[in-house]
Every structure is written in C-alpha cells, then in structure tokens.
Structure 1
C-alpha cells in the first residue's frame, strides 16, 4: 500500500510537531483520505526543486506523521498540526496525475531511549530556551528533557542548521552520536 508524501523545506523528527497550511486540492484530498482511513502521511525534506511547482527531488528518509489538530485560518486556508511518529525509508515513489507524491515505506527501528548524559545537559538548557518562543510554545509539545533522543530531535528541528545538516542528523540512528554532532555543529557556529 502506498502512503502519501508531503515534501517540505524543513525536517520533522519523531515526536516533533509542525503546523502546515493546506490549500491545494491534492493536499486537501490527501488529508480527507487520511482522516477517513485513520492513516498518516510522510513528511520528507526537499533536496532540489520546489514542491509548489509540482516537481521536486527529496530524500528517501522522512518521518511518518499523524494529524493532531486542524482549524480554518483567518486567511481562509486550512491549518493543520501534525506530529511525527516514526522515521521511515521510502522504497518506491511516484507522482499521481494530481501532482501528489506517494510511496511505499518501511518503518525504521525506533531508537533506544538514552538518558541524557551529563556532558550534554547544556543542550537541554538550550532547548528549554528555544521552546520559550511563542510559535514553539503554541505547538504544545510534551518534551522529556531527560531523554537524549528528544533533546536531539528537537534541536535538529529548531537550530539554524542547513537542510543537509538537518537531514544528516535525522538519519543518524544513535541518539548519543546525534548529540555529539549537534554539539560539534554548535561549536562551528560559534567560531
């Protein structure tokens, strides 16, 4: 069975949330079908191109998401909030006549819980500061700051890293290695 794909210019990790605005018929139809069948879709990072133009290239590892909220926005568009549940690997994908991408997915093994090592407590403090921003607070994420996976995932989403760096960090399967790489990238930013 094929799963709908939603290419974006941002990365979403497991347990992360992102607000989206839907107005194109293909995505409104996708959302309607997902709601009817109680299924989610996959958020994937765009490598090249522009999704709005109907043609883009994207990475083959993304995040399966579920709808958690929706409302009509003042602009008249449909606003939804989705939450990542698991990382997935795209094995095959195609684009329908309506422009909607879909693909076969394999759910990747969930990363093992990592109690945040003392050497990375500063990263949890940084994350707490970032989540004070009103736009992040509005997402109502339940973050366990003692969970090294969640600290790493949220920093991947929130830090001003390049999309290639974010994808690299998403694709890592070891939460300790992700924290190590984030710390290294922060050191480079400071220089």
Structure 2
C-alpha cells in the first residue's frame, strides 16, 4: 500500500508491536464493518494506542504511530461476539485522521521502513541472553525460534518489548524508534 493512503484505525489501550500476536473481541458495528471491509480487500487495519478516550463509544484519539494488524484467525464467543487473532506487521505514522459517519477513525498513513537485519552489537548481548531465558521459562510461540533469531537486533528488541512488563508509554516510545540498536539501548535503560 502506498504512503498517504487512507487506512482504518482501531485505537486500543495497548501497543501492538511488529511480530506480536493480539487477541480481540469485536462487538461495535463500526469495527464489524471494518473487519468485513478488510476481509474483502485482503488487507489489515491499524492499531494505535489511545491517547484520549475509551475503546468503546465515542471515537478515541489515537497515537500518531501504530502497527498494521494482519488477521490470522477468527471465531466467535458463546455470546456471539466476533473474536480475532491478529499479528503486528508494518509500522506506520499517521499524518491526519478523520472520523467516518459510523464512528470509525481512518488515518492517512505513511509506512515506515522495515527493520534491517543488523546483528546484535556486543553491548546488547545480555539482552539476547535475557530473552532466551524468558522464553525458556514462559514458553509460547517464540520459544522454539531458531538460534540465529537471537542474533538479530530488531527481533530481540521487539520480543523483549512484547514480553517485559513495560507500561504503554514505554512500549509506544519503542515502537516509534526506527533504529533497532537505539531500541535495544532504550530497553537497557528500562531494565531494573
């Protein structure tokens, strides 16, 4: 999708990171319409941290940076609510937003460059070890990642940002950081 294109946004009280999974329950008509439209176009939608407002009701004010959510699976609850499993993909910057008649926030987005395949620098080696230990303890889908993944600065940074107990403001700052090595520096600063 080219830069400057309108893209549906789903403001949430969470930060979706590239490569991270997220489960959603969809019940508002504006988001049900959005999911149908995304399915027809075979596209994702944008997830942005809410700066002001709530997830339900009046349109919330989203952060200016977010992540594309690609739908991996869907189902329904016993109550008949749509459930989605999405995964974070590309990062974007929102130039401006508008609100459709149905309350859906749509952003004019610029796609940010993908992460480089840079190797971990020596000063960040401890973070790769920490991530390996975390995944050994908690398991999950990344626990069986090939060892070469732990040498990739971007992958290690995103997985730590996903797994560490960080507040939303810290995760948002990491999402907005373009350089994977600077992201790892910031994670070192956030460590207790």
Please, what TM-score do these two structures have when normalized by structure 2? 0.86
Which stretch has the larger CA shift, 11-20 or 115-124? 115-124
TM-fit CA distance, 1:133: 3.4
Partner of 1:166: 171
Asked if structure 1 preserves the Cα contact closer than 8 Å seen for 2:59 and 2:104, the reply is no
Alignment gaps of 5+ in structure 2: none
Q: Structure 2 vs 1, CA of residues 62 and 125 (structure 1 numbering), >3 Å: closer, same or farther?
A: same
2:84 is the alignment partner of 1:80: yes
Q: Structure 2 vs 1, CA of residues 103 and 142 (structure 1 numbering), >3 Å: closer, same or farther?
A: farther
Partner of 1:91: 95
Match of 1:41 among 38, 45, 50: 45
TM-fit CA distance, 1:10: 1.2
Q: Deviations over 1:146-186 (max 9, x none)?
A: 21101111222222222221111111111111101101111
Aligned-partner SS, 2:49: strand
2:155 is the alignment partner of 1:155: no
Asked if structure 2 preserves the Cα contact closer than 8 Å seen for 1:22 and 1:79, the reply is yes
Q: Structure 2 vs 1, CA of residues 111 and 8 (structure 1 numbering), >3 Å: closer, same or farther?
A: same
Q: Distance in 1 between the 2:161 and 2:170 partners?
A: 9
Which stretch has the larger CA shift, 154-163 or 31-40? 154-163
Match of 2:131 among 124, 127, 142: 127
TM-fit CA distance, 1:78: 1.7
Alignment gaps of 5+ in structure 1: none
Q: Distance in 2 between the 1:77 and 1:142 partners?
A: 33
User: How many correspondences in the alignment?
Assistant: 185
Partner of 2:64: 60
Which stretch has the larger CA shift, 163-172 or 139-148? 139-148
